[in-house]
Structure 1
Amino acid sequence: MGKGRGSRRTETYDKELGDVVARAQRGDETAFSMAYRTVHPPLLGYLRGLVGDDAEDVASDAWLEIARDLGRFRGDGAGFRAWTASIARNRAIDHLRRLKSRPRGSFLESDLAELPARQDTAEEALETVTTRQALALIAELPRQQAEAVLLQTVIGLDGPAAARVLGKRPGAVRSATHRGLKRLEKRLLSLARGRVTDSDSSPLGESR
C-alpha cells in the first residue's frame, strides 16, 4: 500500500507543520492561521468521534487554550499534532462531565448506506468511505478502542504518541487499536452482506 511513500509524506508534512508552528510562536499570525487550517480538520473529526454534534463548540474551547499556551509548546510537527489532540481530548472530557454522559456519535444509520461492498482490512475500508461514515462506525466502538483508532486514523498519530495522549502504555493502546479495527472490519462485512441480501431479495432480483 505504499507505506514507504506514505511515511515520507508524513515526515515532510510534519516538518512543514513544525516550521509553521515555530513561526507562529514568534508572533507570526499568518503562520498560526496556517497551522490552524492544517490541524483543525482532523482535530474536529476526532472530537466528533468523542462528543458528536458538540464538536465545534469543544474545538473552539480547545483552540483558545492552544493559542493561549502556544509559547509553552516544545516539539516538532508530530508533537504539535499530539499536543493539540491532548488539549482537545481534555476539553471533550470536561464537556462530557458537564453533560454527565458517555461519548456517543450522533450519526444516522442512513449515512452508512454507501459502504464499500468488500475490503480486505478495516484500514483499507475506512479509506474508501466518507469521513462522516467512518466516524459513525468508530463511534460504535467501546470508548478505549474508539479513542485509540481515532487518534491513529483521524489525527494520524503513531502508537507511542497516541499512548501519551491517552496516558496509557503503548502496548495497551496497540491492543485497543487492533481490537477496534477488527470490530470495524466485522461491522463493515456485516453491513456489506446486508446490502447484498437486500439487493437479492428485491423484486428486480427475483428469478420468477
Structure 2
Amino acid sequence: MSEGTGRPLTAAHDPDLGTAVERARGGDEAAFAEAYRIVHPGLLGYLRGIVGEDAEDVASEAWLEIARDLGRFRGDGAGFRGWTVTIARHRALDHLRRARSRPRPTGLEQDVLDLPAAGDAAGEALDALSTERALALIASLPRDQAEAVLLRVVVGLDGPTAARVLGKRPGAVRSAAHRGLKRLARQLKGKGR
C-alpha cells in the first residue's frame, strides 16, 4: 500500500496501463508489451499463491486468452487489471481441477520431472527466496483470506474489483484481507522472537 493513500502501489500504474491497453486494442504490439510488463508481476504472484510452481504455465494460458479477447475489453487500467485476474483465476481453477483428475506419475517419471532446468542459477534461487517465503506464509492462511490478500496486496486490486473476481461482496473481501493480514502479522511477530 502506498503511504497515506490506502491504495495499492500498483494503482499508480493504472493511468499508464489504461493508455497502453487502449493502444494495444488498436493493434500496437509495443503497447501490449507495456500492459504485460505492468500487470504480469502481480498476476504471477497471485497465481503462485493459487497453483504454486505451475503459475508460469497458467499465466501463459491466461495471457493467450487475454491477447485473443483484448478487442472485446472495455474499461480503464484498473478494469483491465481486474479482467486479467478474472481470466487467470479461471485458468488456475481449471488447472487445479485437471490436476486432481490426473494420475500420479511413477517414481521414475517424478525423478525426471524433478531434474533441474538447464537455465537454473544460484542467483535466480536467491532472488526467489523472499517471494517464496511470503507466498508460503500467505498459503498458510484460510483460502478466502489468502485469495483476498493476494488480490488486494500482490495484484493491487481495489475492494470492488477483487470482490467481482471472487464473486463476493466488497465488504467480505475487505474483511477477509484484513483478517489475513492480521494473521500474517501475528505469524511474523512470532517468528521474529
TM-score (structure 1 length as normaliser):
0.74
Q: Which residue number in structure 2 is paired with residue 182 of structure 1?
A: 182
| Letter of the structure 2 residue corresponding to residue 172 of structure 1 | A
Offset at 1:179? 1.3
Contact 2:10–2:155 (8 Å) recurs in 1: no
For 1:68 and 1:8, locate their aligned partners in 2 and report how far apart those are by CA, in whole Å: 28
Q: Which residue number in structure 2 is paired with residue 136 of structure 1?
A: 136
Change (3 A) 1:161 1:54: same
| Letter of the structure 2 residue corresponding to residue 62 of structure 1 | A
Pick which of 8-17 and 24-33 moved more. 8-17
Query: What count of residue pairs does the alignment treat as equivalent?
Result: 165
Larger Rg: 1
Encode CA deviations 1:94-135: one digit per residue, 9 max, x unaligned.
00011129xxxxxxxxxxxxxxxxxxxxxxxxxxx9332211
Once the two structures are aligned, what percentage of the paired residues are identical?
A: 70
Encode CA deviations 1:43-98: one digit per residue, 9 max, x unaligned.
11110000000001000000010001001111100111111011100000000011
For 2:7 and 2:45, locate their aligned partners in 1 and report how far apart those are by CA, in whole Å: 22
Q: Which residue number in structure 1 is paired with residue 17 of structure 2?
A: 17
Unpaired runs of 5+ residues, structure 2, are 102-128
Pick which of 130-139 and 145-154 moved more. 130-139
Q: Which residue number in structure 2 is paired with residue 107 of structure 1?
A: none
TM-score (structure 2 length as normaliser):
0.80
Q: Which residue number in structure 1 is paired with residue 96 of structure 2?
A: 96
For 2:8 and 2:176, locate their aligned partners in 1 and report how far apart those are by CA, in whole Å: 26
For 1:29 and 1:61, locate their aligned partners in 2 and report how far apart those are by CA, in whole Å: 18
The alignment yields a C-alpha RMSD, in angstroms, of 1.9
For 1:71 and 1:21, locate their aligned partners in 2 and report how far apart those are by CA, in whole Å: 10
**SS of alignment partner, residue 3 of structure 1:** coil
